[in-house]
Copies of this chain bind each other. A is one copy, B any other.
Amino acid sequence: MAKYSLDTIRHSTAHLMAQAISRLWPDENPQFGVGPVIEHGFYYDVKMNHKLTESDLKEIEKLMKKIIKKEKFEVQREVMAKEEAIQFFNGQGQELKIELINSFEEGEEISCYRQGEFIDLCRGPHVENIGQLPMSFKLLNVAGAYWRGDENNEMLQRVYAASFLTKEELANHLKMLEEAKKRDHRKLGKELGLFIFDQVAPASPFFMPKGAHLYNELVEFMRRIYQKFDYKEVITPQILDSELWHTSGHYDHYKENMYFSEIDERQFAVKPMNCPCHMLMFKNHKYSYRDLPLRFADFGRLHRYEKAGAVAGLTRVRTFCQDDAHIFIDLDDIQGEIAKLMEMFFICYKHFGFTNIKVNLSTRPEDKAGDDKTWDIAEDALKQALEKSGHEFFIKEGDGAFYGPKIDVEIADALGRYFQLGTIQLDFQLPERFGLKFTAQDGNEKQPVVIHRALLGSLERFIGIYIEHTGGAFPFWLAPEQAVLIPVNNDNHLDYAREVHALFTKKGFRVRLDDRNESLGYKTRQTQKGKIPFMIVIGDREMENKSLSIRAYGEMKAEDKPLDTVVSEFEKLAEMNIPAELKK
């Protein structure tokens, strides 16, 4: 099997799927769009009237496996001229393929791959024989997808499949998908009462009290980090004259994602980013080298238009808040600051249990502002800083922002899925556009460099990722409800439960007393479902001994502990709202 790369295997399996679909619905004349390899497998876009169902997917899979086992077609490469290819696929009724062929250069060689009765336009490479394909694939689901990603085009059926080299890898992946489904933040967000959505505000979450608690605690958490690393929080307007966005360059590079409003015959835009506000604040005061690095942090609400088809849960929204900051710094001090930033990032991520951290350095993109010389300086500064900081990093060519190179930091969640959270972007453009200056030690005016940076990224998106990472079982310091108190029966134990509840509340713990007239079993099941860190049951024995029967979430049984012990254990857990590194 090692003869072929996983990509080749996946690609050939995609062809095999198309072949099976063609054979199962010959009267539908299924037309195929694109069928690329993706992370964990592949998909293929199909145009046909029949709507594919879950049981259809099983049929297709069965036929694919039969072809591998019994028919073992050889896969043959054939080359055609462009005109020839168009004629051929026209004969096959594959109009989408013809559209693809039309985008080839005149005179370009067009390769196709044939296996049995099926032939597909393809660059290859492929396995030599379909019989060589492993059975370790599974068709997952069908989703709608616009032809060529354009919502003005027709909607095709996109069939997703998982595909791996071994059955074990496939099984692991399917298990992960199963777990991911259980942890889906949209599902848990509803079940745990964290947030809702409403069609009057598309892609804009309404945080219910428990969700707002998470959100506010994250802000407080970042503020504690900011205090240690000498950031100064500011609060800036949200609606600003388009003139500002022309100055910043956002109008030219970003206006499709911005909301505009006419006020007093002037055009204003709702801010998609905080940066230009911070530039104005820097410009408003005369700063000297003694004030630098100056770090403005801002939890301002941002609005960015995303197409209706692109938004999803909390992870892709139209309104969000970043743990955003801009650092005004002397170019000479960049390396030290990047080292500090990396320290800050690692402290933060590790505190949330993200230990698998990947650092990428993205270089100049095609659509960029500024000249290549400035880009050279910026990219070199980041590279050298990263090398000195000692963290392994990967180069992503051409993936920088239009205004400068950047460092992206990705974390792997509990299911091993990578998400980009943090970003550090160097910017030589904004200080130039806003004419920013500081007084250098020699008395001369010098232009500062600006670093844009965020650790959690968008709080909304982070909450979504973190819900899935924890499965909704939040650590004690962060949990909206830290414990639930349940009297065994209200007649005998409610008074003592109230005393205990008052004590916990006075100590500042978020403990709920469940005094409803429901059965003990019902109440404990509900507490478990709510993923509350601790469940405390109070009955005769507890009243007598001034003790508590306490069970941590995820543990199979309760422990008996003196009330005082529980209080001091809670106090220790609550102190984990500050990373140990910050207490030094």
**Distance to closest chain B CB from A576 (angstroms):** 18
Please, how many angstroms separate the alpha-carbon atoms of A201 and B239 in the complex?
7
The closest CB in chain B to the CB of A278 belongs to B206
Please, how many angstroms separate the alpha-carbon atoms of A15 and B430 in the complex?
59
**Chain A 206-223 against B: per-residue CB contact (8 Å), 1 yes, 0 no?**
111101110110000000
The stretch of A105-113, A227-235, A356-364, A419-427 in contact with B is A227-235
Give the contact-size bracket for chain A. Answer: 35 or more
Residue A244 CB within 8 A of the other chain? yes
Please, how many angstroms separate the alpha-carbon atoms of A304 and B383 in the complex?
47
B-side contacts of A200, CB under 8 Å: 240-241, 243-244, 280
**Chain A 41-53 against B: per-residue CB contact (8 Å), 1 yes, 0 no?**
0000000000000
**Distance to closest chain B CB from A370 (angstroms):** 23
Instruction: From known contacts A216-B233, A261-B261, A301-B301, infer whether A270 and B207 are also in contact, taking CB-CB under 8 Å.
Output: no
**Distance to closest chain B CB from A216 (angstroms):** 7
B-side contacts of A237, CB under 8 Å: 201, 204-206, 319
The answer to whether A284 and B239 touch across the interface, beta carbons within 8 angstroms, is no
Residue A171 CB within 8 A of the other chain? no
The closest CB in chain B to the CB of A281 belongs to B206
Interface residues of A (CB under 8 A from B): 196, 198-202, 204-209, 211-213, 215-216, 232-241, 243-244, 259-261, 263-264, 268, 270, 277, 280-281, 284, 290, 296, 301, 303, 305, 308, 318-319, 516
The answer to whether A234 and B208 touch across the interface, beta carbons within 8 angstroms, is yes
Please, how many angstroms separate the alpha-carbon atoms of A448 and B205 in the complex?
25
Instruction: From known contacts A238-B301, A284-B198, infer whether A206 and B277 are also in contact, taking CB-CB under 8 Å.
Output: yes
- Chain A binding surface, main DSSP class: mixed
The answer to whether B238 and A215 touch across the interface, beta carbons within 8 angstroms, is no
B-side contacts of A264, CB under 8 Å: 202, 308
Please, how many angstroms separate the alpha-carbon atoms of A35 and B280 in the complex?
43
B-side contacts of A232, CB under 8 Å: 209, 212
Please, how many angstroms separate the alpha-carbon atoms of A296 and B211 in the complex?
13
Please, how many angstroms separate the alpha-carbon atoms of A308 and B265 in the complex?
12
The answer to whether A270 and B281 touch across the interface, beta carbons within 8 angstroms, is no
The answer to whether A238 and B208 touch across the interface, beta carbons within 8 angstroms, is no
The 8 A-B pairs at the shortest CB distance, nearest first, are namely: A204-B237, A209-B232, A207-B235, A201-B237, A200-B241, A200-B244, A259-B261, A212-B235
Please, how many angstroms separate the alpha-carbon atoms of A241 and B213 in the complex?
26
Q: Which of A212, A235, A296, A303 gathers most chain B CB within 10 Å?
A: A235
Identify which of B209, B241, B319 contacts A201 (C-beta below 8 A).
B241
Please, how many angstroms separate the alpha-carbon atoms of A241 and B270 in the complex?
16
The answer to whether A280 and B206 touch across the interface, beta carbons within 8 angstroms, is yes
**Distance to closest chain B CB from A168 (angstroms):** 44
The closest CB in chain B to the CB of A209 belongs to B232
The answer to whether B207 and A319 touch across the interface, beta carbons within 8 angstroms, is no
The answer to whether A281 and B196 touch across the interface, beta carbons within 8 angstroms, is yes
Please, how many angstroms separate the alpha-carbon atoms of A239 and B516 in the complex?
39
B-side contacts of A268, CB under 8 Å: 259
Identify which of B206, B240, B270, B296 contacts A261 (C-beta below 8 A).
B270
B-side contacts of A241, CB under 8 Å: 199-201
Please, how many angstroms separate the alpha-carbon atoms of A199 and B284 in the complex?
12
B-side contacts of A277, CB under 8 Å: 206
Please, how many angstroms separate the alpha-carbon atoms of A202 and B319 in the complex?
23
The closest CB in chain B to the CB of A244 belongs to B200
B-side contacts of A284, CB under 8 Å: 196, 198, 206
**Distance to closest chain B CB from A397 (angstroms):** 35
Question: Can you offer 20 A-B residue contacts whose CB atoms are under 8 A?
Answer: A196-B281, A196-B284, A198-B280, A198-B284, A201-B239, A201-B244, A204-B237, A204-B239, A206-B277, A212-B233, A215-B235, A216-B233, A238-B301, A239-B303, A259-B261, A259-B268, A260-B261, A261-B261, A263-B305, A301-B301
